[in-house]
Protein backbone atom coordinates (compact mmCIF):
# COMPACT_ATOMS: atom_id res chain seq x y z
CA UNK A 1 0.00 0.00 0.00
CA UNK A 2 1.58 3.23 -1.08
CA UNK A 3 1.46 6.04 1.47
CA UNK A 4 -0.12 9.22 0.32
CA UNK A 5 0.05 12.60 1.99
CA UNK A 6 -3.34 13.48 3.48
CA UNK A 7 -5.08 16.63 2.27
CA UNK A 8 -7.48 18.32 4.66
CA UNK A 9 -10.23 20.68 3.62
CA UNK A 10 -10.72 23.90 5.59
CA UNK A 11 -13.52 25.90 4.09
CA UNK A 12 -12.34 27.09 0.71
CA UNK A 13 -8.77 26.09 1.51
CA UNK A 14 -6.84 22.87 1.41
CA UNK A 15 -4.21 22.05 4.03
CA UNK A 16 -1.32 19.72 3.31
CA UNK A 17 1.10 18.80 6.07
CA UNK A 18 4.35 17.23 4.94
CA UNK A 19 5.94 15.21 7.70
CA UNK A 20 7.84 12.50 5.91
CA UNK A 21 10.74 12.43 3.53
CA UNK A 22 9.55 13.15 0.06
CA UNK A 23 10.59 10.92 -2.77
CA UNK A 24 9.61 10.96 -6.44
CA UNK A 25 6.55 8.74 -6.23
CA UNK A 26 5.20 10.51 -3.17
CA UNK A 27 5.69 13.93 -4.75
CA UNK A 28 3.93 12.88 -7.95
CA UNK A 29 1.10 11.33 -5.95
CA UNK A 30 0.75 14.59 -4.01
CA UNK A 31 0.60 16.63 -7.18
CA UNK A 32 -2.08 14.27 -8.55
CA UNK A 33 -4.19 14.31 -5.38
CA UNK A 34 -3.87 18.05 -4.88
CA UNK A 35 -4.88 19.05 -8.38
CA UNK A 36 -7.83 16.65 -8.23
CA UNK A 37 -8.97 18.03 -4.88
CA UNK A 38 -8.63 21.68 -5.97
CA UNK A 39 -11.05 21.01 -8.77
CA UNK A 40 -13.33 18.67 -6.82
CA UNK A 41 -13.65 20.98 -3.78
CA UNK A 42 -13.47 24.18 -5.79
CA UNK A 43 -10.66 25.32 -3.50
CA UNK A 44 -9.07 28.71 -4.04
CA UNK A 45 -6.23 28.40 -1.57
CA UNK A 46 -3.65 25.76 -0.71
CA UNK A 47 -1.58 25.77 2.46
CA UNK A 48 1.49 23.55 2.53
CA UNK A 49 2.85 23.11 6.04
CA UNK A 50 6.53 22.20 6.07
CA UNK A 51 7.21 22.95 9.74
CA UNK A 52 8.17 19.32 10.31
CA UNK A 53 10.83 19.33 7.61
CA UNK A 54 14.34 19.93 8.89
CA UNK A 55 15.98 19.27 5.57
CA UNK A 56 14.76 20.65 2.30
CA UNK A 57 16.74 19.93 -0.84
CA UNK A 58 16.45 21.20 -4.37
CA UNK A 59 14.00 18.40 -5.20
CA UNK A 60 11.48 19.53 -2.64
CA UNK A 61 12.15 23.13 -3.56
CA UNK A 62 11.26 22.42 -7.17
CA UNK A 63 8.25 20.38 -6.11
CA UNK A 64 6.85 23.26 -4.08
CA UNK A 65 7.39 25.60 -7.00
CA UNK A 66 5.60 23.18 -9.33
CA UNK A 67 2.64 22.78 -7.01
CA UNK A 68 2.29 26.54 -6.74
CA UNK A 69 2.34 26.90 -10.52
CA UNK A 70 -0.17 24.07 -11.06
CA UNK A 71 -2.52 25.47 -8.43
CA UNK A 72 -2.35 28.89 -9.98
CA UNK A 73 -3.38 27.45 -13.30
CA UNK A 74 -6.40 26.04 -11.48
CA UNK A 75 -7.06 29.45 -9.98
CA UNK A 76 -5.86 28.61 -6.48
CA UNK A 77 -3.12 30.42 -4.58
CA UNK A 78 -0.48 28.47 -2.65
CA UNK A 79 1.13 29.51 0.62
CA UNK A 80 4.00 27.57 2.14
CA UNK A 81 4.01 27.87 5.91
CA UNK A 82 6.26 26.99 8.82
CA UNK A 83 9.63 27.06 7.14
CA UNK A 84 12.41 26.61 9.71
CA UNK A 85 15.22 29.21 9.73
CA UNK A 86 17.89 26.64 8.85
CA UNK A 87 15.80 25.47 5.91
CA UNK A 88 15.32 29.04 4.66
CA UNK A 89 19.06 29.66 4.75
CA UNK A 90 19.77 26.41 2.90
CA UNK A 91 17.30 27.22 0.15
CA UNK A 92 18.83 30.65 -0.27
CA UNK A 93 22.33 29.18 -0.45
CA UNK A 94 21.08 26.71 -3.07
CA UNK A 95 19.81 29.65 -5.05
CA UNK A 96 16.19 28.58 -4.74
CA UNK A 97 14.31 31.57 -3.49
CA UNK A 98 11.01 29.99 -4.53
CA UNK A 99 9.82 32.99 -6.49
CA UNK A 100 6.13 32.82 -7.11
CA UNK A 101 5.50 30.89 -3.91
CA UNK A 102 4.08 32.89 -1.06
CA UNK A 103 5.20 32.08 2.42
CA UNK A 104 3.98 32.69 5.94
CA UNK A 105 5.30 31.95 9.38
CA UNK A 106 2.38 29.84 10.56
CA UNK A 107 -0.84 28.26 9.33
CA UNK A 108 -2.79 31.09 10.98
CA UNK A 109 -0.84 33.74 9.15
CA UNK A 110 -1.12 31.72 5.98
CA UNK A 111 -4.91 31.71 6.26
CA UNK A 112 -4.94 35.46 6.92
CA UNK A 113 -2.82 35.97 3.84
CA UNK A 114 -5.14 33.84 1.70
CA UNK A 115 -8.20 35.65 3.03
CA UNK A 116 -6.73 39.03 2.17
CA UNK A 117 -5.90 37.77 -1.28
CA UNK A 118 -9.36 36.30 -1.82
CA UNK A 119 -10.93 39.44 -0.38
CA UNK A 120 -9.07 41.45 -2.97
CA UNK A 121 -10.54 39.21 -5.60
CA UNK A 122 -13.98 39.96 -4.22
CA UNK A 123 -14.80 36.45 -3.08
CA UNK A 124 -15.81 34.99 0.23
CA UNK A 125 -13.83 32.27 1.90
CA UNK A 126 -16.73 29.89 1.98
CA UNK A 127 -17.04 29.82 5.76
CA UNK A 128 -13.55 28.74 6.75
CA UNK A 129 -13.18 28.46 10.53
CA UNK A 130 -12.19 31.73 12.16
Partner 1 sequence: MGRNAGSKLPEILSRYENELLAKWVEDQLKAATLRRDLITDRELYEQSRQFLDVFREVSLKGNLEDILAPEWAEVRDFLSALSKSRAALGFSASETATFIFSLKQPLFTCFRSVYSQDLEALAAETWAATALLDKLGLYVTEVYQQSREEVIRRQQEELLELSTPVVKLWQGILALPLIGTLDSARTQVVMESLLQMIVQTEASIAIIDITGVPTVDTLVAQHLLKTVAAARLMGADCIISGIRPQIAQTIVHLGVELSDITTKASLADAFAWALQRQQLSVVKKSSGV
Provide the binding-site residues for partner 1, judged by CB under 8 A.
81, 83, 85, 87-89, 91-93, 97-98, 103-106, 109
Q: How far apart are CB 45 and partner 1 at their closest, in Å? A: 15
Q: How far apart are CB 54 and partner 1 at their closest, in Å? A: 14
Q: How far is Cα 124 from Cα 114, in angstroms, rounded to an integer?
A: 11
User: Of the candidates 96, 39, 103, which has an alpha carbon nearest to the alpha carbon of residue 71?
Assistant: 39
Q: Which is nearer to partner 1, 18 or 91 (CB)?
A: 91
Q: How far apart are CB 40 and partner 1 at their closest, in Å? A: 29
Strand ordering across the sheet containing 102-104: 7-10, 13-17, 45-49, 77-81, 102-104
8 A C-beta contact, residue 60 and residue 53: yes
Q: Which is nearer to partner 1, 39 or 86 (CB)?
A: 86
Amino acid sequence: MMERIPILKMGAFLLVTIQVDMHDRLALALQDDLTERIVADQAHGVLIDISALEIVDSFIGRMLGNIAAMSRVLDAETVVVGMQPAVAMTLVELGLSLKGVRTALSVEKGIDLLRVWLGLRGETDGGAAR
